[in-house]
Amino acid sequence: MQGNMTLESTSLGLRPATSADAPFLEQLYRSTRPELQALDAASGEAPSVAAQQYAVLQSGIAVSFPDAMHFVVEQASGRIGSLVVDFGANEVRLIHLSLLPAVRGRGYGRQLLQGLQQAAARSHAPLAVTVWRSNPRARALYLSLGFVVEEAHPVAERLVWYPPSRPMVAVP
């Protein structure tokens, strides 16, 4: 999944995120955090708290997954989401996937996940993700795509999708 990429049979595309995308990505992050939206915007705290939380997320990704690839999800209409993925030695890790509220529920997340499943299958590696318990729609989507719960914690679960095993072929 390197460079510019168009997902098969869809109008979605992925391209590497650049520094010019930072304001969009921060706004997108804010749209995924209802507790940040609930802050009193009149007090001026919401933007600074959201900026701090987004910086913490980016910093955490940089430390834990220094080789992670950051993508912007695009459609003909422009930027609609972000995807951060790490192709590690033992697994493909979906670190972050988010879409603008206006395009959620249209099947784009499913398409992106199926593309990651194809990439993981080509790599012969499982695809792992952590999903927050506060996001039951995402959890249901992962489960519908064949992910299984590997670890359960009070606030989040680690879900893993294993590619179908390839039959062994006897070599004469």
Q: Which amino acid is at 131?
A: V
Is residue 3 very low, low, confident or very high in pLDDT (cuts 50, 70, 90)? very low
The percentage of residues in the chain with a pLDDT greater than 90, rounded to a whole number, is 66
CATH number of 5-161: 3.40.630.30
**Residue of higher predicted confidence among 7 and 31:** 31
Q: Dihedral of the CA atoms 48, 25, 69, 84 (nearest 10)?
A: 90
pLDDT at res. 31 = 85
Put simply, whether the predicted model's pTM sits higher than 0.85 gets the answer: no
Q: Does 6 score more than 50 pLDDT? A: no
Smallest CA-to-CA distance from 104 within 20, 4, 18, 32 is with 32
Distances (CA, A) of 166 to 93, 122, 162: 21, 11, 12
Residues 6 or more apart whose CB falls under 8 angstroms from that of 134 comprise 155
Measured in degrees and rounded to the nearest 5, phi and psi for residue 48 equal -75, -40
pLDDT at res. 43 = 57
Pairing of strands 92-99, 127-132: parallel
Judged by DSSP in three states, 14 sits in strand
pLDDT tens digits for range 19-42: 999 999 988 988 887 766 666 454
Enumerate the β-bridge partners of residue 70: 84
Judged by DSSP in three states, 40 sits in coil
pLDDT tens digits for range 69-114: 999 999 988 999 999 999 998 999 999 999 999 999 999 999 999 9
Is residue 4 very low, low, confident or very high in pLDDT (cuts 50, 70, 90)? very low
pLDDT at res. 39 = 61
Distance between CA atoms of residues 117 and 43, nearest Å: 43
